[in-house]
Amino acid sequence: MWIERDLRYDLWLIMGVVVLVGIGIVMIYSTSSIPAQHNLSGQSAYFLKRQIIFAGLGLAAMIAAMHLNHEKLRLFTMPLLVLSVILLAAVLIPGIGSEIKGGQRWIRLFGIGVQPSEVARFALVLYLAHSLTRKADRLKSFQYGVLPYLLVTGLLAGLIFVEPDMGGAVTLGLIMMVMLFVAGARLYQLAGLAVASAPVMFYFMVSADYRWRRVMATINPWDYWHDAGWHLVQSFLAFGSGGLFGVGLGDGRQKLFYLPDAHTDFILAAIGEELGLIGVLVVVGLFALMVGRGAIIALRASSHYGAMLAFGITSMIAVPALINMMVVLGLLPTKGLVLPFVSYGGSALGVYLTAVGVLLNVSAKMYRSK
């Protein structure tokens, strides 16, 4: 049966997602209205209107995915994976991909900007869940249990890396490691992969001057405040200005052409300034709630595939959220990763909400199996 009705869903997970999306919409308007008024000929609600549309479409996709038997997704695993590779390759072709801030990361489909790396992330989770379920008895072998997944993930991550988007590539690798660990791969093999990847990561960081300057700016942003450390310095000023309760919703100053990407990558810093430590803790708490519920759903799933899918979707949300938070706090070099459900962007929001819909369907099977 493809469509399922009269199911019980995880209400805590639904609540967490809806509240995060709501906070995102409010903060996107707060952080973007004045810059949009200045840069877009008075269209102060430009980003607000678009995000509301994105949220509406995403929530519709989530509701549809809630009622779609997640076992049927196995039929679309390979087509979606192949499509992701095609889109990631196409975005690198001049005239097809759109260059924004030096990165060739977007492609326009039917007049809508799509970021293929977001689709690839979900496709990788579906592929790993499907294949790891089928090969559960061969995971102890590196040749048959780990190497194939390393090659597939490496292909996707490599295409994302040359956009260039090192943060997106690293995210795919971390999701793969989490899913392999949960599936039962040998710990020493995963540790070996981590150790072997370290010098490669270091080489890529030092091979591009802007990446190395970002690393150095993370260590001491005040020495690089005029270029590579500008984002971090403004982020620190935003958090510091907010204190415990914030300066008030809409009253933040860093968004006034000081803090770049205040409505996207650094939206958590804007939350810290306007809503204070309390607001940041609410956002972190909501993500903790979602990750916790995702883990519970995975542990209680009625099938091995459902469990792997739930773990994959949970890590797909948790990994970029954690990286984004660490970046705005100066714990990692600046990367172009948005905060799931909160930052502005249609591709990311649509993919994340669809993935949550699939996770909710897994939770419905959990309740039905009791």
Order of strands across the sheet that contains 97-100? 97-100, 103-109, 112-114
How long a stretch of residues is the chain?
370
Least confident residue range of 5-14, 169-178, 297-306, 332-341:
5-14
Q: What tokens does 78 get? A: 């390979």
Helix boundaries (H) for the chain: 11-39, 46-66, 77-90, 116-134, 147-161, 166-183, 187-207, 209-219, 230-242, 267-299, 304-328, 346-368
pLDDT higher than 60, residue 368: no
Sign of CA dihedral 253, 255, 260, 264: positive
pLDDT tens-digit map of 319-360? 999 999 999 999 999 887 899 999 998 899 999 999 999 999
Residues whose CB is less than 8 angstroms from the CB of residue 96 and which lie 6 or more positions away in sequence, other chains included = 90, 107
Q: What tokens does 305 get? A: 């595939």
Residue carrying the six token digits 């990847």: 197
Residues whose CB is less than 8 angstroms from the CB of residue 69 and which lie 6 or more positions away in sequence, other chains included = 1, 2, 3, 4, 361
Least confident residue range of 40-44, 98-102, 315-319, 342-346:
98-102
Average of per-residue pLDDT values in the chain: 91
The domain segmentation of the chain, as residue ranges, is 11-368
pLDDT higher than 60, residue 202: yes
In eight-state DSSP terms, residue 92 is T
Confidence of residue 367 (pLDDT cuts 50, 70, 90): low
pLDDT higher than 80, residue 77: yes
Higher-pLDDT residue of 6, 187: 187
Sign of CA dihedral 39, 45, 51, 53: negative
Please give the average per-residue pLDDT across 73-84, as a whole number. 94
Element (H, E) at 108: strand 103-109
